[in-house]
Amino acid sequence: MMGIWRHLCIDMQRMFAEDTLWHVEWMNRVLPQVEAAVEWSPDKTVFTRFMPPQNAAQVAGAWRKYYHKWEDMTLERMDIGLIDLIPELKRFVPPAMVFDKATYSPWIGGRLHEDLSRHGVETLVISGGETDVCVMATVLGAVDLGYKVAILSDAVCSGADDTHDAALKLLGDRFSIQLEVVSTEEFLRSASRNG
């Protein structure tokens, strides 16, 4: 399944790893697998970062209501350092790249797809959080754009076990021609064989 590939590591940021309103309790549990995938080929890794607005007034529609609820997670209220990648992963930048996004999906605006297309990327390997939100949006957008997708089952995490499990099952069952759900070990074995 490999061909020309990139690893998209979704939103492994301090604001989800630390004690905040958006804390993802078991992000640290998947960190060793995420780190192993990044370490194998940091130059093929793109980290996404979810970027909240300065305040709710800066966004429109349902996002405004969303940030009224999560006001303490806007940039004017939170410690700005929390948007950073967690230190264990930040050390890989560069050669790994960072792509900032203001929505769950990194595909809005087309810049990421443009860059990946320019490099002939055919396959995306996905890790990070949250399985049932930003990972799901990333995967569905990637499928729509024609990428082959490999989700690292032990390197994705969520704040809710039930929806994490349901998301992996849904993606694996309904999109089985366009994606596969594999362990980090299986991915690294395949990547080693295929260069």
- Is residue 132 very low, low, confident or very high in pLDDT (cuts 50, 70, 90)? very high
pLDDT tens sequence across 99-124: 999 999 999 999 999 999 999 999 99
Average pLDDT, the chain: 95
Question: CA 181 to CA 193: how far, in whole Å?
Answer: 18
Which residue, among 160, 106, 105, 108, has the nearest Cα to 131 in the 3D structure? 160
- Supply the pLDDT for residue 139: 98
pLDDT for 3: 85
Question: Does residue 195 surpass a pLDDT of 70?
Answer: no
Pick 193 or 131 by higher pLDDT.
131
Q: How far is CA 30 from the centre of its chain?
A: 13
Q: What is the mean pLDDT of residues 183-189?
A: 95
For residues 153 and 181, the answer to whether their CB atoms sit within 8 Å is: yes
CATH for 5-54+85-194, options being 3.20.20.70, 3.40.50.850, 3.30.420.40, 3.40.50.300: 3.40.50.850
CA distance 32 to 194: 23
pLDDT in tens, 135-185: 999 999 999 999 999 999 999 999 888 999 999 999 999 999 999 999 999
pTM score, whole prediction: 0.95
Residue 1 reports pLDDT greater than 70: no
Kindly state the average pLDDT of the residues 21-35: 95
